Every structure is written in structure tokens, then in C-alpha cells.
Structure 1
Amino acid sequence: MPTEGAPPAAAPGRGWRVLSVGLLGFSSGLPLALSLSTLQAWFTTAGLSLKAIGWVTLIGQAYVFKFLWAPLLDRLPLPFLGRRRGWILLMQLLCGGALLAMSAYTPQGAATTIAFFAVLLAFASATQDIAYDAHRTDLLPPAERGWGTAFSQGGYRLAMLVSGALALILADRVGWAWTYRLMGALMLAATPVTLCSPDAPDERPARSFAEAVVEPFADFFRRYGALALAWLALMVLYKLCDAFALSLSTTFLLRVPQFTLTQVGTVSKTFGLVAGLLGALAGGWVVTRLRLYHALLALGVAQALVNLGYIWLVHSGPDVAAMATVVSAEYFFSGLGSTAFVVLVTALCNVRFSATQYALLSALSAVGRVFLGPLAAWLVPRVGWSMFFAITALSAIPGLLLVVALRRAIAAAELTRSH
């Protein structure tokens, strides 16, 4: 039955629950850039064509299709560390191994081999996300969703900056091979957090594969009825403008304003790090102070408007101050919007099937990030970079209209957790 209300502030273990999901958020976020934007930078500096780099973005398809094997995680707990943490640990080890393997090759001599290990990395990372998102959804009661999600997003974004910004700086100094080796070692160093994280209460695997595969989807459509398709559409459309603008952002910064790897990495590290973390934490405050509907609407508009800042960079040349301003705004408002969005996704899930339902919803939100790369690579030569970024801002409109249409449903989901 739906439950409302919050546990008392002094609920046992509350501080460690919130902190642990933040630390695991770092592990969840670390591999993403290394299979997408950082890999894009590696292939860009290696001299690959824009068309080839656009196709490289398809390496991340595992993030879109992860819901297909999510029922396996709901049905089969591994024989160690409970229903969720065993899978998290195994995928952390696999991610670390894939990163170390990628470091042994170069794009000039073995681009296909690197792409193969990047696909393996993306698969292991997406599977880790399934287990981690389910673990967080199961672990946090409604009263802790806001701050728990904020810490989760903070850890995730810190990891993205380490594997993105810091990785670019390291690549400029020690080369790509050592950069990927260091990232692999850091991934493996995250495993003690998994060992120490608490288990969610009442972990109950599905009784059969049929139940694990069919029931999560049947439950979702049964609970939301005619609104189910609208929820699924919102998952795709809400972050679409953000994903569209970022699909070739690394290549844009390196080739159009012609920033160096160190400049891109340093600015992202010093300004993007602070802005992204502040945005994620501010998102927790906003969600606890404002209604979720108002947060989603206002932050969705802000996410669209910051895309227009890239037009400035088209004409500015390698102006570091301009890049710092644009990147800071992007990271701050993206952090705000992502926190509100994750709170919504968490609220829509039934904790009994959290791995599969969260994987489905978050996979839909990754559609733009994965599949817009080839479209962006086709569009830019035809309309130019300035018009391209204007189009990305306009692509936010369908998602914002859907938020308005779902206003009452969002308000109901905000207060309810299904069991």
C-alpha cells in the first residue's frame, strides 16, 4: 500500500545511509565519461574524423538497453553481499579490468579493440548502475530521498569530473595509457565502499524468472494506467536538450574555440567541480523546499537556456573566462535538474522491482545521450555550431510541456512510495 509521511529525524543509520549512497554514486559515475566523452577526446586527439567520432558515441548503448537484463538482478542475488551489493562489487571489478585493458592499445593502431573494451566497460557500468540505483531506491525512505539523491548526484558528478576533467589534464601530461591505468586503479579502489555499505531492509528477490521479467512492467502499467506512456515519454524528453548539446561538446571545445586538453580539463575541474557539486546539493535543498513539479519545470527551463551559452564560445576563440562561465552554468543547472529528476524516478518505482523499473526509466533518459551523437555529427556541418546549440535549447520544449501536463501526477508521486 502507498505510505506517506517521514520517519523521525533520528532514525537509526540515517547519516550512514545517505553518506554511503553518495560514496557509491562516485563508483557509479566514474566509468561513464571514460566510455563516452573522455574516449571521444582520446579519439579526437588521435585524428579520427568527426563522422567516426559521432559513431563512437554509440558505444554507450548498454545504458539504453540495460532494462533488458535488469530482471536478472531482481531475480538472482549473488552468493555474497546481499541482493544488490554483490552485483555492484562484481561490476566494479569488471569495470576496473576493462579500463586497464583499454590502456594497452592506441586508436591509431587498434581503435576497434579499444572500442570492444569500451563496450565491455559500458555494459559493466550500466549493470553497476542497475544494482546501485535499486540499492539506493530500496534503502532510502521518502523523507531521505532529497538529500540522499543530492549526495548521490554529488558523488556521481565528482566522479564524472575526475574521469572527464582530471583525465584530460592527466592525458596532456602522462599520456592516455597511464590515464586509463590510473582510472582503472581508482575504480578498483572503490570496492571497499561496497563492502561497508548497509543492506536495504526486507530484500526479497522475485520468486521466478517469469515474475522477474513480466511483473515489473505489468506492475508499472497497472499502477499508472493511462499515464504510464506519458511517464515513459517524460523519461526520454526531460533531459533531451542537455544530452543533445553535450553529445559533441568535447570535440567542439577542442576544435572550434581550440582550447587545449589542459584548458578544458582545468576549467572543468576548478569551476565545473564546484558548480556541479553545488548544483547537486542545491537540488536536494530545492526539492525539500519546493514542490517537485515546480522544481522540474523551473530547472528544465534553466537547463535549456544554458545551452545558448555555447554560442558565445563559437565566436569567443580560446577565451578561458568565457568557457569557465559557460561550463559553470552548465554544471550547476544540470546538477539541479538531475537531482529533481532522480527524485521523480525513485518515487515512481515499486521497491519490490526497483532494479528493473529504475533501469527502464533511467535507460529511457539515456536515449538522447547515446543516440544523438550521429545526428549531431550530421547536423553540425549543415547548420553550423551556433544554430546547432539553438536547436538543442528548443528541443527542451516537448519535455517541459509534458511536465505541465503531468502536474497533478507529479504531486501525487512525490508523496508516495509503493511496496
Structure 2
Amino acid sequence: MTDNKTPAAEVAALQPAPRGMGVLKAAFRERRTLAMLLLGFSAGLPFAMLIGTLNAWLTEEEIPVATIGILSWIGLFGAFRFLWSPAVSWTPPLIGKRFGRRRSWLIVLQITIAIALGLVALSHPSAGTLAPLAMGAALGAFAFATQDIVIDAWRIEVADETTPIDLLSTIYQLGYRTAALTGGAGALLLASAIGWPGVFVVGGLLMGVGILGTLIAPEPEPTSRSAVARERRGSPRMRLIVLVATLTAWAWAAFMLVRFMVTALTTSPAPSAGSFTAAWGPWIVGATVVLPAVLAGLIVWKGSAPAAATEATGRSSFADTLYDAILAPLVELMGRLGWGAVIVLGLILTYRITDGVWGPFAFPFYMGDSGGALGHTNAEVALASKTFGVFMTIAGIALGGWALLVIGRMWSLLIGAILSAATNLLMMDLAMGAPVIGGFMQSTRLYDLFGAFQIGEPLARLMLAIAGENIAGGFAGAAFVAYLSALSNKTFGAVQFAVFISLALLIGTLGRGALGELVDAQGYAPMFAIAAWLGLLAVGFCVLEWVRDAAERRKAAARG
């Protein structure tokens, strides 16, 4: 008699993978989703407090907008995180054996962020010196930028068909924006009760949420180093030359940026950030982005030639180890993308510039009283931007997550780029007195709706503009993080994703100092107009990337 039973493993393999919204049901049975939510909170809280809420404190202390713009350059730690991203490939001593590589890094960094927030709490910007505050903020920015590297690598490494990268990226964004609500609106309201130093102490304590997420998170399986060895293209001499050139260029760029920031914060009158950006910005971008990409492309073009000594002995020199950590991820990326890297890099550089370039000036715009600023109070901004606005961002993230699962990644990416560019015009209208928004709300009787909740016309206009801006930003953010995560190779996830995010932050961060001076001279409206025009570049690159991606998929299908 023939046994017609199919083995259980084969039956499981024949079950269709969850699709569309069905992925959600399968995913929320996994502890990875809860860990991702808590780690997203851990990533978003220090960013909200040091890049956003800290500026509200400085605005209250009547620190000039141009100085706030220079202080916002602590965001360059995020823009240049790829410089030290290879370091997280090693396991920290002492706790590494117990918690594993990713989780031990997370614990160390979360404790460091808590300490940095405490140092900011001990500073006194009203005393006329910003050096202690800047040092605490810089330590926190370095630590949270490094934490982001590890969280991004963890997300890429643990993703699978049950918890796909698009879904994990959306959950990460939800956690991140929940932290923005806590570190934004919560901090503004709490400041009225306990003062700004107390707010930053509470922020440090809330980093315990991140530690809880780390303890829940499973440690990913370590990736094989054999894949790294295969990327040792070119002769050992070429690899050494390229490595030295890259490290030298990065060190020079870091020195130039740190020197200017220290000079600007410790001398009076401060040097012009606009002049520095105009003179050195292109060179810094070239040294940190263009040169390494060109050198990695040169290695790819020269072809593979693993070092004979390494192959024979199985051992690597220190230079090979550095190459594996720093340049092999770039070489793999350039080899995989080819000339398409130009399109990918263009998309990454421009996609989030529309928000990032003016983000640090949001509080001065909402709370200031000159240059088209709106003059709202702490409580009003807490309601409009950091409560209502965050809920609107979460709504945008939810829409983005739905779009990723239903209409696909490239459609979502394009729609996000269009919305991000267009909604800057809402803020420009506010800065010009809200002729369009005001007329729209009058004709649609939205003023009456807001009035039913005791919200006056000026605040109602701000809330409507923030709703459009934040829904677009949440949608675009979900699509962008999913796109970058999918673009990263699991073997090189930490470095490649750090490079991608650094590129996304770089241009906008470098431009903030000059924009601060533009606002002081011409008001806020020109800044929003510039952001809207820059957004059109991202739309164009999205179209080109869609064409490139479709062509690559056709080639892969033809190869079978």
C-alpha cells in the first residue's frame, strides 16, 4: 500500500507566504515587532530632544536664530555616521559575550544617551556660555547616531518573509514618532511645570524604554565573513592606497567641520556659516561621498584579485581588516548597482532634504516674532506641532505602511516625494500671512469647526498646515526607510544603511547654517520656497530609479 501522506515540512513549504495586509497578522505574533517599536522609541527620543526641543529652550533664552542654526550642526553626527559605522562590526568587550554584538552595543549607547541628556540638564544657556550645553548635546548626538547604526543593522538582519523589511521599517517609524510626541509636546508641557533642566532629566530616564526593547530583541545570527573576503577586489597595494586615501579624506572633512563649529561657538562675532558652506561645503561632500564612491567604483572596474597570501594562510592583515569594514561595503554596493549608483545616490541625497533642511528652525518659526514667524506660545506649539502634528505624522506613517504592502515600494516612494515637495508651500503661505490657507478655511467653514474646540484662527491655520506637512512627511519617511533597508545587503547592512542615511542628511545639514542667516536677513518664506524647489529634484530621481529598478528586474527574470 502506498503512503500518500506528505511530510509536514513539505506541507509548510507549500503554504503561500502572507501578502498585503495579511502580513500584519503574521508579524504581530513575533517579538521582533514589539522590540522594533521600543527601539524606534529609543531612536526618536534623543533626536526629538536634542535637535528639536533643545531649540525651544534656546529660543526662550533669546539665543539668536543664526546661533541655533550653528548648534544644529550636532546633526552632522548623523550625517557622518558612516565614518565610524564599521566599528559596530566588532563586539564590545565584557557584556558582548552575554548579550551578543548588536544588543551589547545598544545597551552601551542607550546608557550613554541618558548620561548626555543629564549633562544638558546641568547646563545654563542663560549664563551666556553655550560650551557645556554644546558638549553634552554633541555627546548625545554622537551616541544616538551610533545607536541608529545598530538599530538599522538589526532591522535589516532580522527581517524575513514573516516580518518583512517594509513592515519592520513602518513599525520603527511608529515608535520613532511616538518618541517625538513624548520628547516634543510632552517636553514642552513638562517644561512649564518643572523647568527645562528637569525635562532633560526625565528624558534620560525614559531611555530605559530602549533598554527594555534591547532585552526583548533577539540577537541576529552573525553574518559570514566569507562574503567580505570575496569583495577584496584589486591588488593588496591598490586596496591599501584606496583605504588610506579614503581615511585621509574623511579625517580632513571631520576636522574642518569640528573646527568651524568650535570657532563659531567660542568667538564673537561668530564667522559666517553661509560663507563656510559656500567655500568648503562642496569640497566636504566630495571628500566624504564622491571620492570614496569613485574609488570603490575603480576597484570594481579593475576586477577581482584576492590577495594570494590571504588565500594561502586564511589570515588578513590589519589593512585588510580595515578594508573589509570600511570599503568592502561600498565596493559591494558599487558592483551591484553599477552606473545605476548615480541615480540611487541622487535620490538619497535629495529625498528628505525638503524636511531636513529647515527642521531645526521649526520652533523659531512657530514661536518667534519676526521675519514672518508666527509668535505662538509654548502651549500652542505643544498642541499644534508636538501633539496634533505627531498624530498626523503617525497617520502618514500608517498610510505609508498600507501603501507599501498594497501598491508597492516604488509607487509609495514617488507619491511621498511629490507630497513632501508640495506641502512646503503650506508653510510658505503661513510665513506670508496665510492668504491661501486663510481663504480656504473661511470658505470651507473650517474656522467654525476649530472654533468649536476653542481654537482660534491663527492656531487653526497652523494646525491645518502642520497636518498636511506631517502626513506627507510620515508617508515619505515610511517609504524611504523601507527603500533604503531593501537596498542594503544583509552582510554589509550596518555600513551601507549608515552611508545611505548619512547621504540623506548631509546636504540638508550643511545648508542649515546658511539658511539661518537667510532667515535673519529675509524671513522664513524664502526658506520654504527653496525647500519646495529642492523637492522636485527628488521627484525626478524617483522616476529614474523606478525605470532603473524595473530594468534590473527584467534582466533578473531573463536570467531565470
**By the TM > 0.5 criterion, same fold?**
yes
How much does 1:181 deviate?
0.5
Find the counterpart in structure 2 of residue 133 from structure 1.
152
1:127 partner letter: T
How much does 1:355 deviate?
0.5
How much does 1:247 deviate?
3.5
TM value normalised by structure 1: 0.92
1:238 partner letter: Y
Find the counterpart in structure 2 of residue 347 from structure 1.
486
Residue number among 65, 74, 83 corresponding to 1:68 in the alignment: 83
Find the counterpart in structure 2 of residue 224 from structure 1.
337
How much does 1:246 deviate?
2.2
SS at match of 1:141: coil
- Highest RCO, 1 vs 2 (Cα 8 Å, sep ≥ 6): 1
| Between 274-283 and 112-121, the greater mean CA deviation after superposition | 274-283
1:264-303 superposed Cα distances (whole Å, 9 cap, x missing partner): 1122343112211111122111011113222111111111
Q: Percent identity?
A: 30
CA–CA distance in structure 2, aligned partners of residues 221 and 52 of structure 1:
39
Find the counterpart in structure 2 of residue 284 from structure 1.
401
TM value normalised by structure 2: 0.69
With over 3 angstroms needed to count, the CA separation of the structure-2 counterparts of 1:11 and 1:203, relative to structure 1, is farther
1:27-58 superposed Cα distances (whole Å, 9 cap, x missing partner): 01111122212111111111111221111111
Residues 74 and 353, structure 1, Cα contact 8 Å, conserved in 2? no
1:57 partner letter: S
Find the counterpart in structure 1 of residue 495 from structure 2.
356
Residues 185 and 387, structure 2, Cα contact 8 Å, conserved in 1? no
RMSD: 2.4
How much does 1:180 deviate?
0.4
Give aligned pairs, total: 412
Within 5 Å, give how 1:141-156 maps onto structure 2.
141=160, 144-156=164-176
Residues 146 and 285, structure 1, Cα contact 8 Å, conserved in 2? no
With over 3 angstroms needed to count, the CA separation of the structure-2 counterparts of 1:64 and 1:270, relative to structure 1, is closer
Find the counterpart in structure 1 of residue 350 from structure 2.
237
CA–CA distance in structure 2, aligned partners of residues 154 and 322 of structure 1:
26
Residues 291 and 411, structure 1, Cα contact 8 Å, conserved in 2? no
Find the counterpart in structure 1 of residue 429 from structure 2.
312
Residues 27 and 33, structure 2, Cα contact 8 Å, conserved in 1? no
CA–CA distance in structure 1, aligned partners of residues 387 and 137 of structure 2:
27
CA–CA distance in structure 1, aligned partners of residues 35 and 151 of structure 2:
11
CA–CA distance in structure 1, aligned partners of residues 137 and 180 of structure 2:
16
Within 5 Å, give how 1:170-189 maps onto structure 2.
170-189=190-209
1:85 partner letter: R
Residues 427 and 528, structure 2, Cα contact 8 Å, conserved in 1? yes
Residues 1:28 and 2:43 are matched in the alignment = yes
Find the counterpart in structure 2 of residue 301 from structure 1.
418
Residues 1:334 and 2:473 are matched in the alignment = yes
CA–CA distance in structure 2, aligned partners of residues 325 and 411 of structure 1:
37
Find the counterpart in structure 1 of residue 359 from structure 2.
246
- Runs of 5+ unmatched residues, structure 1: none
Within 5 Å, give how 1:82-101 maps onto structure 2.
82-101=100-119
| Between 316-325 and 386-395, the greater mean CA deviation after superposition | 316-325
Residue number among 527, 533, 542 corresponding to 1:388 in the alignment: 527
2:76 partner letter: Q
Residues 400 and 478, structure 2, Cα contact 8 Å, conserved in 1? yes
CA–CA distance in structure 1, aligned partners of residues 391 and 509 of structure 2:
26
- Runs of 5+ unmatched residues, structure 2: 1-14, 230-320, 435-455
1:66-96 superposed Cα distances (whole Å, 9 cap, x missing partner): 1011111124453332221111111000000
1:396 partner letter: G
Residues 146 and 288, structure 1, Cα contact 8 Å, conserved in 2? yes
Residues 6 and 141, structure 1, Cα contact 8 Å, conserved in 2? no
1:209 partner letter: L
CA–CA distance in structure 1, aligned partners of residues 201 and 347 of structure 2:
38
Residues 279 and 332, structure 1, Cα contact 8 Å, conserved in 2? yes
Residues 1:379 and 2:518 are matched in the alignment = yes
With over 3 angstroms needed to count, the CA separation of the structure-2 counterparts of 1:200 and 1:247, relative to structure 1, is same
Residues 36 and 213, structure 2, Cα contact 8 Å, conserved in 1? no
Residues 243 and 372, structure 1, Cα contact 8 Å, conserved in 2? no
Residue number among 306, 324, 349 corresponding to 1:211 in the alignment: 324
With over 3 angstroms needed to count, the CA separation of the structure-2 counterparts of 1:243 and 1:12, relative to structure 1, is closer
Within 5 Å, give how 1:242-281 maps onto structure 2.
242-255=355-368, 256-281=373-398
Residues 151 and 281, structure 1, Cα contact 8 Å, conserved in 2? no
Between Structure 1 and Structure 2, whose CA radius of gyration is higher?
A: 2
1:65 partner letter: F
How much does 1:376 deviate?
1.2
Find the counterpart in structure 1 of residue 182 from structure 2.
162
2:201 partner letter: R
1:365-414 superposed Cα distances (whole Å, 9 cap, x missing partner): 11244222212112224443223212211111111111111113345789
CA–CA distance in structure 2, aligned partners of residues 44 and 103 of structure 1:
16
CA–CA distance in structure 2, aligned partners of residues 108 and 387 of structure 1:
30
With over 3 angstroms needed to count, the CA separation of the structure-2 counterparts of 1:310 and 1:74, relative to structure 1, is same
1:218 partner letter: V
CA–CA distance in structure 2, aligned partners of residues 404 and 142 of structure 1:
27
CA–CA distance in structure 1, aligned partners of residues 489 and 220 of structure 2:
14
How much does 1:364 deviate?
0.9
1:221-270 superposed Cα distances (whole Å, 9 cap, x missing partner): 11111112321221110111122232411111111210111211122343
How much does 1:305 deviate?
1.3
Residues 46 and 107, structure 1, Cα contact 8 Å, conserved in 2? yes
1:159-201 superposed Cα distances (whole Å, 9 cap, x missing partner): 1221122212222332110000110110134312201111223
Residues 180 and 386, structure 2, Cα contact 8 Å, conserved in 1? no
How much does 1:338 deviate?
0.6
How much does 1:11 deviate?
6.8
Find the counterpart in structure 2 of residue 124 from structure 1.
143
Residues 80 and 506, structure 2, Cα contact 8 Å, conserved in 1? no
SS at match of 1:364: helix
SS at match of 1:258: coil
Find the counterpart in structure 2 of residue 400 from structure 1.
539
CA–CA distance in structure 1, aligned partners of residues 192 and 213 of structure 2:
30
CA–CA distance in structure 2, aligned partners of residues 80 and 69 of structure 1:
24
